[in-house]
Structure 1
């Protein structure tokens, strides 16, 4: 499906189903906000990365939390679906803000329980190593996007994840990331323990060589 959306480019990745808090202060985006409120339209957040715009997420305005005398506003919006830009315009018709013709990426819901459970187990191990409580999630509602901002992914990795249409492939991408990160975190934790022992008497169990 192809359509035209107002654009709000940012140097971040917004995922579908994610709620995002934004402070709107530029005049062009104040105009975009009013158009969203009055016309109940959605807008796109394309990720500005490597000095270009290619993929992003359609966003729905959920709530205007606060309005300031300056015209600025605090809002909460929610990701809807992923798109790829076809044509970008610095001005959308007579508006102050940009716009683009976009093609929505069809999501492939082929996630399996086994892959999801493997991901959750690795995520629990990752948070345990960090000594951080694992965020509460409903295992029946969790998706590959749910905790992607809380796994130590770089913006480039998050952007790559955004481009993967298959739910199963996204889980596999995250699983590989956790398998790479876990040994690093474990190594850091061992180093921290060794540093704590410096200058202290160490109690080692004697080795038994009688069987040799």
Structure 2
């Protein structure tokens, strides 16, 4: 791939994750029109804004992101668009192009290149999710174990299970970026485990009695 439309956001989109957007800025309305044209890409890249705002430009952006495939695009009477998208391929930004009129970047797809991962490699995640479920039940009275483990029981690639678990946990953009930026599946599992450990620590700390 080379030049591709880009939509910097205050979130990290993960492969397989759904994304709904209300597009109101003129530059991004033009982007949607171009993407959904007969000769358009029907997708755009989503990268996390590391500094700045989603509106107005002048933001700083990370160089790893996910392509968002436009599944439905509805134009409102006032010119805004409502988009329903799903994350597909991970990519790297090789260089940013001028924002004329909307952000563009020269990108290359970035598939995992590590050795094949197996279901047994998910055991550390399962162990931590069981611990998280126990802490949630003890500290907050919330029973969620089945819902947390569900992605690991599904069919499909190991990477998809890791991404789906991160989405269901509602991890923040920084943790999601670490998971997305991991070179391969094994490293991705390690990053997810660390994020779950941090989440457990936060919940346990919130349950400590005040001095």
- TM exceeds 0.5? yes
Shift of 1:165: 2.5
Mean CA deviation greater in 161-170 or 143-152: 143-152
The equivalent of 2:107 in structure 1 is 102
Which residue number corresponds to residue 176 of structure 1? 194
Instruction: Kindly name which structure, 1 or 2, has the bigger radius of gyration based on alpha carbons.
Output: 1
Q: Whole-Å Cα distance in 1 between the matches of residues 161 and 96 of structure 2?
A: 30
Q: Which residue of 2 aligns with 1:87?
A: 95
- Over 3 Å counting, the alpha-carbon distance change for 1:35 and 1:128 in structure 2 is farther
| Residue number in structure 1 paired with 2:139 | none
Change in Cα spacing, 1:128 to 1:8, as seen in structure 2 (3 Å) is same
When the two chains are superposed, the root-mean-square deviation of aligned CA atoms in Å is 2.4
Q: 1:99 to 1:182 in 2, by over 3 A?
A: same
CA pair 152-23 structure 1, distance change in 2 beyond 3 A: closer
Deviation at 1:187, TM superposition (A): 4.9
Q: Which has the higher helix share?
A: 2
Kindly indicate whether the alpha-carbon contact (under 8 Å) linking 2:24 and 2:80 is maintained by their aligned counterparts in 1: yes
The correspondence of residues 1-80 of structure 1 with structure 2, limited to 5 A, is 2-38=1-37, 39-41=39-41, 42-50=43-51, 51-64=60-73, 66-80=74-88
Q: Tell me which stretches of 4 or more aligned residues in structure 1 moved more than 6 Å.
A: none
Q: Structure 1 pair 30/183, CA: closer, same or farther in 2 (3 Å)?
A: closer
How big is the shift at 1:151? 3.2
Tell me, in whole angstroms, the C-alpha distance in 1 between the residues paired with 2:20 and 2:49.
18
Please say if residues 21 and 84 of structure 2, whose CA atoms lie closer than 8 Å, have aligned partners that are also in contact: yes
TM-score normalised by the chain length of structure 1: 0.76
Identify the range of structure 1 (117-126 vs 13-22) with the bigger mean alpha-carbon deviation.
117-126
Q: Kindly tell me: are residues 90 and 112 of structure 1, through their superposed partners in 2, closer, same or farther at Cα, counting changes over 3 Å?
A: same
Q: Which runs of 5+ in 1 are unaligned?
A: 196-212
Q: Deviations over 1:7-59 (max 9, x none)?
A: 11112101111111111111111121122222341211121114333111112
Residue 161 of structure 2: aligned partner = 143
Counterpart secondary structure, 2:189: helix
Query: Within 1, Cα distance between the matches of 2:21 and 2:79?
Result: 14
> Given the alignment of the two structures, is residue 185 of structure 1 paired with residue 185 of structure 2, yes or no?
no
TM-score for both structures, normalised by structure 2: 0.76
* Residue 122 of structure 1: how far off its partner (Å): 1.8
Could you tell me how far apart the structure 2 residues matched to 1:87 and 1:176 are?
31
